[in-house]
Structure 1
Amino acid sequence: MAKIAYILLCHKDPDAIIAQAEQLTAAGDCMAIHFDARASREAYARIQGALQANSNVTFATKRIKCGWGEWSLVQATLNAVQAALEAFPRATHFYMLSGDCMAIKTAEYAHQFLNDNDRDFVESHDFFASNWIKTGMKEDRLIYRHFFNERTQSRRFYTSYDVQKKLGLTREVPADIQIMIGSQWWCLRRHTVEMIFEFLAQRPDVIRFFSTTWIPDETFFQTLVRHLVPREEIDNRTLTFLMFSDYGMPVTFYNDHYDMLLGQDFLFARKISPEAHELKDRLGQLYSADGVDFHISDEGRNLHSFLTARGRVGRRHKQRFWEAGNTLGPDRDVFLIVCKKWHVAKRLVDQIKSETDIPCVEYLFNEQDTALPDLGGIETTLLKRSRHRRALVRMLFDSFETDRLVLCIDPSDIEIIQDFCADQVKTHVLEVECEYSDDYLIGHARRVGLAGQDSPTETVARLVPTLHNAMEYESELIRGTALDRHARLRETSDRAENEDAIVQFLNVSQEQAQAIMRLDYLFAD
C-alpha cells in the first residue's frame, strides 16, 4: 500500500502548519517540513515543539531564505526531500505541498489511487515549443545568468540582465537535457526521487546551470523527471487542483466550494482561503475518514466561475476600451428579448416574424448554429461574434437592409445588454420572466456545465437557491441597465398585460400585439 511523504514548503502561520501536519499524518502518512529561514526563530521553534512527539514529521536539516523566482525554492525542496528520504524509508511517494494546500480526498482514496497508477505525476511541457509561458521572459530565463531577485532587487536584476544582453554573454543549455516546464506541485515515486539525487551527484553542472536560471521551480524537477523516467511512466499533470484568474493570480477557495472541490479528479486543492474556517475544518476531518464515495464530475472550473463571478471577485459594469470604438448609430432600434428559457424566446420570435416585418435573430451570442447570413467570416464562431459584437450587429442591420432588429439574449450576458444600452442606438429590452421549478434549475445546472452528469442529485440540489438568487440578481441588473426602455413579459401575468408589454417594447399596434400573444403554449416546457 502507498505511503506518502509530504514535502511542505511554508513561511508563515505556525498554527495552520501544525494543524496541516497533524491532519495529514493522522492516517499513517508522513511529512518533511521546510520553514523559510526568513521567518522568525520563535515561529519555527513553536512548530518544532508542537510536532516533536510526532514520529511521522521531520524537518529539513538546513533552512534556506527563500525568494520567489530564485533557486532557493528548489534548494529548500531538495533539503526537505533529502530529510524525508532518510527519515521515512517506507515512504513510496513524495508529494509537494504548500501551506495553502489541503486534501480534497481521503487518505484511503489517495493511497488506492497511487497503488492503481504506478507513475510519476508532474506537469512538464517542452520549454521552447509549448505556450506554457504566456508573458515575460522565455528563452532569456535560461541563456542569461540571473543572480538577483527581480522582485526585491529589481534594479540589480535588470542591470545585470541588460549588461549580459549588450555584451552577448549568453550560455548554452546542457546539451543532453531537454528543458521542460510546468507546475511545481508534483507527486513522484521513491525510485524517481532517488534517481534524481544520484544524477545530481554525478552532474554538478546541471545544478550550476539551474541555480542561475530564472524561476527554476517551474523547470528543475520537470526537466529531470523527463530526463530520467520513461515517458510512459509519467502522467503529465498535477494531482493538485489549482486555477488562475484572468490576471494570472491563483484562485482562492472558500466555504461554499466544498462540494465542488470533492468532485474534482485531484487529491489536493490550492489555494484555500485563510478565512475559510468551515472549509478547512471539513477538509481536515475528511482526510482520515473511511469509506467515503467520491463522485468525480470535474465541472469545477465552470462551477467556480458561476459561484464567484457574481460577487466575490467583483462585478464589471464599465465598457472595455475596444468595445467603445464603434457605434450602431442613433437612427436604429435594437430590440433585445432577454429570456433564460431559450425555447420560450424562440417561440416569441417566430410570432414577431409572422406578424411584423422586423428581422429577428435568435441567440447569436450563445448558439453556434444560429441562422445568420454570410458576413465575411465574423459570424463563423461564437468567440468572433462576442469579441466584435457591435460590428456584427451593424453588419446584420446592413445585410437585412433595416433600421430595426430583434435579438435574443441570455440574462447572464449582462455585459452585452449594457454594451448595447451604452451605444447611441436606441436599445429596447423585453425581459421575459418565466417560472422555474427546482427540477428545471437542476437540469439547467447540468446542461450548462455547472454540474456534471454524474454529480449526485442531492449535491446539485444545493445549487438551487444560488441559481434562484443569481436569476434575481440578473433581473436587477437588467432593470438598472435598460431603465425607461424596459418592459416585462410575465408567465404569471394575464394576456392583456403581456399584450401591453409587447406594444411598449416593439411600438406596434394593439392588434399586432394581440396577434403576437395569441400563442397559448408560449411558456410551456
Structure 2
Amino acid sequence: MKIAHLILAHAAPAQLSKLIGALAHQDAYVFVHLDQKADLSAFGFLLESKNVVLVPARIRVGWGAYSIVEATLQGFRAIAHSGIHFDYVNLLSGADYPLKSAGEIHDFFSRNNGHNFMEYHRVSDEWTEAIPRLTGYHLTNYQFPGKHLAEKWLNKLLPARTMPAGLEAVGRSQWMTLTMDAVQYILAYLDDHPEVIRYFKLTWAPDEIIFQTILYNSPFRSSLVNDNLRYIDWSKGGASPKVLTEEDFDRLSDSGKLFARKFDLAQFPTVLSKLDRKFGITNYKASLNGGGKL
C-alpha cells in the first residue's frame, strides 16, 4: 500500500519537518507544494530528505482563490508523473498532524482499498450557504486595480451563474484522501473540460467544491465515503478552525480519526508531544540521507 502524502505548506518549516517525520514509512512518499511566497531557503531540508519531493511548479496561493486548486493540481501532476505506482493520495496542510502511527495509517487504507474519503454535502439542499459562491461572480483569484468595483458590477448586471457540464455541486472540507485512480480521473476530466476550470476560477473557495463535485458526478460516486478522516474543530465559529491545544487532547484521542488540524508547534508544542506518546508516532528527522528528487 503506497501512499503519496501531498502537503500544501506556506510557513513554519520546523512544524512541516515534524509532520513529514511523523508520516515516514517505507511505502510513503511526501510531496510538498510550497507557496511561491515562501522563502525556499528556510525549507532546504525538503531538497535533502529521503522520499520527500518538492513540487517543482510553485503557485502563489491566495486565501479563498482558485490558486489553491492550482497548487493541489500541481501536486497531483507531480505524483502522477513520478513513475511510482501509488495507491492513495492524501491531501494535508502543513498545520495537520496524524492521530495514528504511520503503520496504522497504511493498514487502514490497505483494509479499505478502493474507497475514496472526503466530506461532501449537496449544495442545493444540505449546504445551502455555499450557493452564493456558485451563482455569483468572485474575482478572488485576480489582482488588479478596481477589482472589488468590477466584481460588484458583474454581479449587478449579469445573470446568476449556473454549474457547467450538467454537474451537481457538492463539497465542504478540502482535505481528503483519494485513490490514485480518482486523482487520475480528476486530472483527465479537467483537461477535457476547460469550461469547468473557467467556472471555478470565478468561484469563492473552489477548493472546497471542485474535486468533490467532479467525483460525485463520476463513476467513482459508489466508492465515496462521506468522511474525510480528519478531526477539525469549528466550534469558535470563525473563518478558520480552532487551533488545537493540550485541552483538546482527550477529544483528539477519542475521535477515531486518522488526522487532525490545525496545530501550531511554536505556540502549543505539548499537544503534539502527547499525541506522539499516545499513538506511538515516531518522529524521524526530515533531513534523512537521500535526495529530494525521484
Question: Would the aligned equivalents of 1:146 and 1:160 in 2 still touch at CA under 8 Å?
Answer: no
Unaligned runs of 5+ in 1: 290-525
The one-letter code sitting in structure 1 at the alignment partner of 2:38 is: A
- 2:30 aligned counterpart, secondary structure: strand
What is the match of residue 222 of structure 1? 212
Q: Note if 1:139 corresponds to 2:138.
A: no
- 1:8 aligned counterpart, secondary structure: strand
The one-letter code sitting in structure 1 at the alignment partner of 2:255 is: Q
What is the match of residue 23 of structure 2? 24
Compared with structure 1, are the counterparts of its residues 241 and 154 closer, same or farther at alpha carbon in structure 2 (3 Å cutoff)? farther
How far residue 120 of structure 1 moved from its aligned partner, in angstroms, is 0.2
Q: Find 2:78's aligned residue among 57, 75, 83.
A: 83
Q: Find 1:59's aligned residue among 44, 49, 54.
A: 54
Question: Would the aligned equivalents of 1:10 and 1:98 in 2 still touch at CA under 8 Å?
Answer: yes
What is the match of residue 385 of structure 1? none
Distance 2:49 2:80 in 1: 17
Q: Note if 1:271 corresponds to 2:262.
A: yes
Q: Equivalences for 1:485-504 in 2 at 5 Å?
A: none
Question: Would the aligned equivalents of 2:172 and 2:208 in 1 still touch at CA under 8 Å?
Answer: yes
Question: Would the aligned equivalents of 1:144 and 1:161 in 2 still touch at CA under 8 Å?
Answer: no
How far residue 148 of structure 1 moved from its aligned partner, in angstroms, is 3.4
Compared with structure 1, are the counterparts of its residues 55 and 88 closer, same or farther at alpha carbon in structure 2 (3 Å cutoff)? farther
The one-letter code sitting in structure 1 at the alignment partner of 2:248 is: H
Distance 1:142 1:154 in 2: 24
**1:87-130 per-position Cα deviation (integer Å, ceiling 9, x unaligned):** 26232111111111100011222122112223000111111211
How far residue 20 of structure 1 moved from its aligned partner, in angstroms, is 1.7
Question: What is the TM-score when the length of structure 2 is the normalising length?
Answer: 0.86
Q: Note if 1:253 corresponds to 2:253.
A: no
Q: Find 2:189's aligned residue among 199, 218, 227.
A: 199
Distance 1:52 1:140 in 2: 42
Question: Would the aligned equivalents of 2:22 and 2:101 in 1 still touch at CA under 8 Å?
Answer: no
How far residue 234 of structure 1 moved from its aligned partner, in angstroms, is 0.5
What is the match of residue 322 of structure 1? none
**1:370-423 per-position Cα deviation (integer Å, ceiling 9, x unaligned):** xxxxxxxxxxxxxxxxxxxxxxxxxxxxxxxxxxxxxxxxxxxxxxxxxxxxxx
Identity of aligned residues (%): 28
What is the match of residue 155 of structure 2? 165
Distance 2:245 2:161 in 1: 45
Question: Would the aligned equivalents of 1:58 and 1:84 in 2 still touch at CA under 8 Å?
Answer: no
How far residue 196 of structure 1 moved from its aligned partner, in angstroms, is 0.9
The one-letter code sitting in structure 2 at the alignment partner of 1:131 is: W
Distance 1:84 1:55 in 2: 16
Higher RCO (CA 8 Å, separation ≥ 6 residues): 2
Q: Find 1:122's aligned residue among 99, 118, 121.
A: 118
When the two structures are aligned, how many residues end up with a matched partner?
278
Distance 2:252 2:28 in 1: 22
Distance 2:128 2:243 in 1: 21
Q: Which moved more, 1:62-71 or 1:247-256?
A: 247-256
Question: Would the aligned equivalents of 1:59 and 1:83 in 2 still touch at CA under 8 Å?
Answer: no
Question: Would the aligned equivalents of 1:31 and 1:84 in 2 still touch at CA under 8 Å?
Answer: no
Distance 2:71 2:84 in 1: 20
How far residue 176 of structure 1 moved from its aligned partner, in angstroms, is 1.9
Compared with structure 1, are the counterparts of its residues 37 and 108 closer, same or farther at alpha carbon in structure 2 (3 Å cutoff)? same
Highest Rg: 1 or 2?
A: 1
The one-letter code sitting in structure 2 at the alignment partner of 1:31 is: V
Question: Would the aligned equivalents of 2:66 and 2:141 in 1 still touch at CA under 8 Å?
Answer: no
CA RMSD, Structure 1 to Structure 2 (Å):
2.4
The one-letter code sitting in structure 2 at the alignment partner of 1:17 is: L
What is the match of residue 241 of structure 1? 231
Distance 2:60 2:166 in 1: 31
The one-letter code sitting in structure 1 at the alignment partner of 2:137 is: R
The one-letter code sitting in structure 2 at the alignment partner of 1:122 is: M
Question: Would the aligned equivalents of 1:4 and 1:92 in 2 still touch at CA under 8 Å?
Answer: yes
Q: Note if 1:10 corresponds to 2:9.
A: yes
The one-letter code sitting in structure 2 at the alignment partner of 1:36 is: D
How far residue 211 of structure 1 moved from its aligned partner, in angstroms, is 1.4
Compared with structure 1, are the counterparts of its residues 52 and 230 closer, same or farther at alpha carbon in structure 2 (3 Å cutoff)? closer
**1:258-283 per-position Cα deviation (integer Å, ceiling 9, x unaligned):** 34312212100111233222222343
What is the match of residue 370 of structure 1? none
Distance 2:276 2:81 in 1: 27
How far residue 246 of structure 1 moved from its aligned partner, in angstroms, is 4.2
Distance 1:140 1:122 in 2: 22
Unaligned runs of 5+ in 2: 284-294
- 1:94 aligned counterpart, secondary structure: strand
How far residue 76 of structure 1 moved from its aligned partner, in angstroms, is 0.4
Compared with structure 1, are the counterparts of its residues 228 and 161 closer, same or farther at alpha carbon in structure 2 (3 Å cutoff)? same
